[in-house]
Amino acid sequence: MGKFQLSLLFVFMAAVLAACADDGDVEEGATDDEGGETAEETSTEGDITIGMMDEMVTLDLHGSNDSASSQVRRNIYETLVFQTVDMELEPGLATDWELSEDGVLNLKLREGTTFHNGSDFTAEDVKATLDRVRDEAVASQVAFLFEMIEEVEIVGDHEVNLHTAYPFAPLPSHLAHTTAGIMSKELIDEDYQAALDEAGIGMSADEYYELREEGGSEYARVADRISEDLGSVLGSNTDGTNHLQYESRSAGDSVSLSRFEDFQGGERNFENVTFRVIPENGARMAELETGGIDIATDVDSSSIDRVASGEGTELIEQESVRMSYLGFNTQKEPFDDVKVRQAISYAIDRDAIISGVYDNMGIAAEGPLAPDVWGHNSDLDSAEYDLDQARELLSETEVSGGFSTTIWVDNDPQIVDTAVFIQESLSRLGITVTIEQYEWGAYLETLADGEHDMFILGWTTVTADADYGLYALYHQDNMGAPGNRSFYENQELSDLLDAGREEADEDRRYDIYQEAQAILAEEVPTAFLFHTNFAIGVNSQTVSGIELDPTAGVRLDGASFVE
């Protein structure tokens, strides 16, 4: 799994902190992305190559909820509701929608749209997609986004009613999530049929759907038998309606997409798009500068000035709705003791990490939600740096003299540097930390198994609503892969998060999330660290019109080419 251990590097820490004093003008330089390139001429033909740090996990929309996969899949599939770069909701595959007081969301669907395979987009495809993501046989990591939907009713060829268990205000935002992309019923049928055949079950996909509608023990039995094989087709094949269609994938290297000539969502100026996996930051920046790639994602703070001031490169920086955190496995000693978690949180100087590791590209986190997320509580103080308070809290525990533990991280250099900073900070409490590093896919899978002590991860509230930012990470029903990798169990909090989903009154709903965040600030299942800015680099000699949204989504819609 690419695992190795890192020891404490005091020399490195000194260098990081020293760099804080030398790079104070980096953010100012990063905002100057004019570069004297405004008069360039553009072309409407060309290919785009994007260099990414992480490899996508799967093509299956319901198979993962990671950002690398989202970067690729968002170009293949359209959603019912479209979220603009400014996080506003606009018509997508649904031209209009209306939520009634009794919890029914009516959607009028776009006509004249075809899938990549040439078939017409209809209400049948919407039903097939939303039924699949909620199927217990699929056990999707993103089922929580749609679990309030009880029935997808087909009203006509281009109209559906979503019957919900309760009026859920953010549902349109959930339908704009990249994992809510609509797949063709034809491909979904093929995926189910392959799983049924592999399990030796003599029924058609449609017969299985009828059994699923009925529910009961027979459905549960069949669902269990096919669960391991579902996704075998959708993980390697796609059929969407968006501007790009899948061509090929070379595992660990690249994914290739080509322009869909019958796309009905507006003109596009590019032909082919290739997503290349280039994990090392320096190599990714070098490829950007030499024209090997046109766009570099995940520009780290040490490369900001290099990209912003480069003769042929442009920096695009965006404030984010992401929260990075230090997670605790609350089911393991000593992290089952709230005072141990509180002590560690107080021992971390977030501002020093932001300045020393991220060159001020972000802000310290006060709580689990970024300031631009609806429901954000600005009155929390759990993330303050107070080493004396940390020592006092730890002295009241069974590990008052300290203990040995681990922090798990992925291969992001800045996350590794953050872990080293925390490692040094916790040594002041007598806590000896070993850092263990994993490759991205293995990291997510291993964390879901719950064998870790501490870990560093981030969560992007892509709907800009408190429900998404809290429900997956902290509800006790979502332990493991869905998001609650702290394995935190708190009935009071889970009840509040359920109530927030079911409350129709916005003011009352807001109060619920204020109370929920106060509990999290007291219980500290995760130590909230920071909200970093996102940044990408663009080769300004080859492409223009690239946008970056607050969820780190690279928007290619307006891309054109420099002649």
Amino acid identity, position 199:
A
Average pLDDT of the residues in 415-435? 97
Answer yes or no: do 423 and 503 share one domain.
yes
- Cβ neighbour number for residue 233 with a 10 Å cutoff: 20
Asked, for residue 232, whether it belongs to a domain, the answer is no
Answer yes or no: do 538 and 466 share one domain.
no
Beta bridge partner(s), residue 409: 437
Asked, for residue 276, whether it belongs to a domain, the answer is yes
Looking at 226, 251, 270, which one is the last position of a domain? 226
Asked whether 16 and 352 are in contact (CB, 8 A), the reply is no
Split into its structural domains, the chain has a count of 3
If residue 11 lies in a helix (H) or strand (E), which one and from where to where? helix 10-22
Over residues 188-234, the pLDDT tens digits come to: 999 999 999 999 999 999 999 999 999 999 999 999 999 999 999 99
Answer yes or no: do 349 and 303 share one domain.
no
Average pLDDT of the residues in 514-528? 97
Answer yes or no: do 152 and 251 share one domain.
no
* Per-residue pLDDT at 1 exceeds 50: no
- Structure tokens belonging to residue 126: 């919407």
Asked, for residue 171, whether it belongs to a domain, the answer is yes
* Per-residue pLDDT at 28 exceeds 70: no
Enumerate helices (H) and strands (E) in the chain, giving the number of each: 18, 25
Asked, for residue 15, whether it belongs to a domain, the answer is no
Answer yes or no: do 311 and 368 share one domain.
no
Q: Which domain holds residue 546?
A: 42-55+238-319+534-562
What Rg, from alpha-carbon coordinates, does the chain have?
A: 24
Answer yes or no: do 209 and 263 share one domain.
no
Comparing CA positions, the residue from 466, 463, 484, 460 lying closest to residue 474 is 484
Answer yes or no: do 202 and 110 share one domain.
yes
Answer yes or no: do 342 and 280 share one domain.
no
Query: CATH code at 76?
Result: 3.90.76.10
- Cβ neighbour number for residue 15 with a 10 Å cutoff: 11
CA angle 301, 307, 312 (to 5 degrees): 175
Q: How far apart are CA 85 and CA 37, in angstroms?
A: 23
Comparing CA positions, the residue from 222, 183, 173, 178 lying closest to residue 202 is 222
Asked, for residue 10, whether it belongs to a domain, the answer is no
- The pLDDT of residue 20 is 37
Asked whether 534 and 548 are in contact (CB, 8 A), the reply is yes
Q: How far apart are CA 146 and CA 144, in angstroms?
A: 5
Asked whether 338 and 523 are in contact (CB, 8 A), the reply is yes
- The pLDDT of residue 441 is 82
Answer yes or no: do 493 and 361 share one domain.
yes
Asked, for residue 8, whether it belongs to a domain, the answer is no
Which residue would you say has higher pLDDT here, 482 or 432?
432
3-state secondary structure of 156: strand
Over residues 507-518, the pLDDT tens digits come to: 999 999 999 999
Answer yes or no: do 336 and 394 share one domain.
yes
SS3 content of the chain, % helix, strand, coil (to 5): 35, 20, 45
Asked, for residue 35, whether it belongs to a domain, the answer is no
Q: How far apart are CA 335 and CA 341, in angstroms?
A: 6
Tell me which of 21-30, 103-112, 311-320 is least confident: 21-30
Asked, for residue 231, whether it belongs to a domain, the answer is no
Over residues 441-498, the pLDDT tens digits come to: 889 889 999 999 999 999 999 999 999 999 999 999 999 988 999 999 999 999 999 9
Phi, psi (5° rounding) for residue 459?
-140, 125
Answer yes or no: do 141 and 188 share one domain.
yes
Query: CATH code at 243?
Result: 3.40.190.10
Answer yes or no: do 219 and 263 share one domain.
no
Over residues 155-179, the pLDDT tens digits come to: 999 999 999 998 888 999 999 999 9
Looking at 226, 259, 275, which one is the last position of a domain? 226
- Structure tokens belonging to residue 324: 């990075």
* CA distances in angstroms from 149 to 171, 300, 433, listed in the order given: 9, 39, 44
Query: CATH code at 451?
Result: 3.10.105.10
Phi, psi (5° rounding) for residue 387?
-65, -35
- The pLDDT of residue 101 is 75
Amino acid identity, position 559:
A
Confidence of residue 102 (pLDDT cuts 50, 70, 90): confident
Over residues 350-389, the pLDDT tens digits come to: 999 999 999 999 999 999 999 999 999 988 876 789 999 9
Looking at 203, 226, 249, which one is the last position of a domain? 226
Average pLDDT of the residues in 294-309? 94
Asked whether 41 and 563 are in contact (CB, 8 A), the reply is yes
pTM of the model: 0.81
Q: Is 384 exposed, middle or buried (0-12, 13-18, 19+ CB in 10 A)?
A: middle
Residues 6+ apart with CB under 8 A from 128: 183, 184, 185, 188, 189
Asked whether 483 and 455 are in contact (CB, 8 A), the reply is no
- The pLDDT of residue 477 is 95
